[in-house]
Amino acid sequence: MKEICVGIIGFGTVGRGLAETLRIQQERLEARIGATIRLKTVADIACKSLPEEFAGVTLTQNATDIFTDPEIDIVVELIGGIEPAKTFLLQAIENGKHVITANKALLSTHGKEIFEAAVAKNVEVGFEASVGGGIPVIKALKEGLVANRINSIKGIMNGTANYILSQMTEHGTPFAEVLKEAQELGFAEADPTYDVEGVDTAHKLAILMTIAYGLNVNIDHINIEGISSIEPVDIDIAREFGFAIKLLAISNNHGDNVEARVHPTMVPHSHMLATIGGAFNGIHFNGDTVTDVLLYGPGAGMMPTGSAVAADVADIARNILSDSVNRVPALSYQPERMTAPVITPMSELVCAYYFRFTVSSEPGVLAAIATILGKYNISVQSIVQKELGEDQPVYLVVRSHDAQESAVNAAMAEIRVLDACLAEPLKIRILGAND
């Protein structure tokens, strides 16, 4: 039986997940692909020895051993971060290796350079695991929904942020406390910035937009807000209003321009994205032909991510065996059809808003705020006032009808400088029932 050789750079959680997957699924992959997938070499600077079940696999501290091995067909980069991951990927491509990466930070920053290098050397770049963990979302978008203009992308793409919001929702625990628990349980990184501030979600949105629209979208195109300002009171009031608060990636395709935003969002309880709890991911596409499709599954984890990387291995192995490399362009569109995006300015966004104002408990505050909102044509749908206790500030929560973001920002700027306004106003965008 023919053999396809794989080298892995980085033997952390995902690297071990892939090695385990290839080991456990060896026979199944043979039965499906008609060839043996052989893990030949692992490169890791910290790993002293491989577990005994990988007895036949070579361990090296030098990634170059993998690029320069003529037997190795596919190089899998699983170290994360920009460097040396980028250099390794480019070296592997330069050496004519097919490459696979789960590195969304790298792809959404230097993706263009990597994909162009791969086209020049006629090798494949697999990146199924970069978005949605084990969910086969990249393949669905590139192949399953190929005959669609994607009208919108909406998704919960970061398990840590969703876990934190879910715990806050279920137990009413404040953000900082849930984050600390999540870190102790290993669900959140020691430095959780990328997860809770929306950066990781933005990396993923950039990748999805690129292949959905055929536009070279990168992280700098995405408008990003995180979830650290959300308090249990917001979650409670949202629930009363009929919403769950989720950290969403959102892109509506307006043709001439495309939205690119990541922010906490009020999602109507009737929307499937509202039902996705814990560390799971859910990614929703609206296509002009297919209408609404949602893919749900584990957005991270050793084995689920291993499943996605192994699917890339199988895909590339099949192309090697049938001599059909780049049968599907890495970015879904033929390279010469890729164009630059025009991103819709956030100021042009129109949606309903949730505002939380922290104000002093004194007469006239409501009138002052209402006057400013009215001045900017922000019409109020409902108001909730929450007393925090004697001599404490008051939360004034306003749910608006549709308003334009530029007007909202102008109103916030005026409200923020009122004497009675004691803290930065919080605004959360509301997803429409038909969105």
For residue 184 the two structure tokens come to 């102790």
CA neighbor of 262 nearest in space, from 106, 154, 131, 109:
154
For residue 394 the two structure tokens come to 């008051």
How far does CA 83 lie from the centroid of its chain? 21
Whole-angstrom distance, CA of residue 43 vs CA of residue 78: 10
Residue 292 interacts with a second copy (CB under 8 A): yes or no: yes
The answer to whether the CB of 348 falls within 8 A of the CB of 224 is: no
Residue 145 interacts with a second copy (CB under 8 A): yes or no: yes
Residue 128 interacts with a second copy (CB under 8 A): yes or no: yes
Residue 134 interacts with a second copy (CB under 8 A): yes or no: yes
**The one among 180, 231, 257, 296 contacting a second copy by CB under 8 A:** 296
Residue 148 interacts with a second copy (CB under 8 A): yes or no: yes
For residue 259 the two structure tokens come to 């939205």
Part in contact with a second copy (CB under 8 A); list of ranges 160-168, 187-195, 302-310, 403-411: 302-310
Residue 36 interacts with a second copy (CB under 8 A): yes or no: no
**The one among 193, 291, 347, 409 contacting a second copy by CB under 8 A:** 291
Task: Determine how β-strand 394-400 pairs with β-strand 72-77.
Answer: unpaired
Min dist. Cβ of residue 177 to a second copy (A):
25
Residue 306 interacts with a second copy (CB under 8 A): yes or no: yes
Whole-angstrom distance, CA of residue 388 vs CA of residue 365: 16
Part in contact with a second copy (CB under 8 A); list of ranges 131-139, 253-261, 408-416, 419-427: 131-139
Whole-angstrom distance, CA of residue 162 vs CA of residue 221: 23
Residue type, 88: F
Min dist. Cβ of residue 353 to a second copy (A):
27
Min dist. Cβ of residue 309 to a second copy (A):
9
Part in contact with a second copy (CB under 8 A); list of ranges 30-38, 50-58, 118-126, 343-351: 30-38
Task: Determine how β-strand 36-43 pairs with β-strand 58-60.
Answer: parallel
Residue 120 interacts with a second copy (CB under 8 A): yes or no: no
Whole-angstrom distance, CA of residue 289 vs CA of residue 269: 26
**The one among 8, 315, 378, 430 contacting a second copy by CB under 8 A:** 315
Residue 76 interacts with a second copy (CB under 8 A): yes or no: no
Paired strand residues for 298:
280
Binding to a second copy, residues 81-110 (CB under 8 A) = none
Residue 1 interacts with a second copy (CB under 8 A): yes or no: no
Whole-angstrom distance, CA of residue 154 vs CA of residue 253: 11
The answer to whether the CB of 252 falls within 8 A of the CB of 151 is: yes
Residue 216 interacts with a second copy (CB under 8 A): yes or no: no
Min dist. Cβ of residue 145 to a second copy (A):
7
Residue 433 interacts with a second copy (CB under 8 A): yes or no: no
Asked whether the bond before 268 is cis by omega within 30 degrees of 0, the reply is no
Binding to a second copy, residues 323-382 (CB under 8 A) = 323-324, 327-329, 332-334, 337
| Residues identified as active-site | 204
CA neighbor of 380 nearest in space, from 389, 366, 367, 370:
370
The residue count for binding a second copy (CB under 8 A) is 63
Residue type, 4: I
Q: Is 407 buried (19+), middle (13-18) or exposed (0-12) by CB count in 10 A?
A: middle
Residue 401 interacts with a second copy (CB under 8 A): yes or no: no
Place of tokens 């460097």: 83
Is 189 annotated to bind a ligand? Reply is yes
Whole-angstrom distance, CA of residue 176 vs CA of residue 173: 8
Tell me whether residue 171 or residue 416 sits nearer to a second copy (CB atom): 171
Tell me whether residue 146 or residue 350 sits nearer to a second copy (CB atom): 146
Residue 307 interacts with a second copy (CB under 8 A): yes or no: yes
Place of tokens 């895909």: 315
- Cα-Cα-Cα-Cα dihedral sign, residues 293, 214, 158, 197: negative
Part in contact with a second copy (CB under 8 A); list of ranges 167-175, 246-254, 287-295, 362-370: 287-295
Binding-site annotation: residue ranges for L-homoserine: 189
List interacting residues with a second copy (CB under 8 A).
21-22, 24-25, 28-29, 31-34, 128, 134-136, 139-140, 143-149, 214, 272, 275, 280, 287-298, 301, 303-304, 306-308, 310-311, 313-315, 318-319, 321-324, 327-329, 332-334, 337
